[in-house]
Amino acid sequence: MIKVDEKVVQWTKNLTIAQLLKTLDDVKFCSVVRLNGKLISSPKFKTTKIPDNSKIQLLPLVAGG
């Protein structure tokens, strides 16, 4: 199991952030997530695997300076 913004989601082996986002609604503007406290940006979504029992926060649109 993993937690995505407080919601419990089924974990599967080798699940990447990109695969996870495909299963979620309203993630059009999600270009950064916090995976177990660490910031991961969209260019790394496909290659970043999510360990079991992870906590993921979807960050809103990046506003910059």
Q: For other proteins, which is the closer residue by CB, 13 or 37?
A: 37
Least distance from other proteins to the Cβ atom of residue 39, Å: 5
Are the CB atoms for 19 and 27 separated by under 8 Å?
no
By CB under 8 A, name the binding residues for other proteins: 5, 26, 28-29, 31-32, 38-44, 57, 59-65
Could you give the residue ranges of the DSSP H alpha helices within 1-65? 17-22
Q: Cα 15 vs. chain centroid, distance in angstroms?
A: 10
Q: For other proteins, which is the closer residue by CB, 12 or 39?
A: 39
Q: For other proteins, which is the closer residue by CB, 19 or 31?
A: 31
Among residues 22, 6, 14, which one has the least CA distance to residue 52? 14
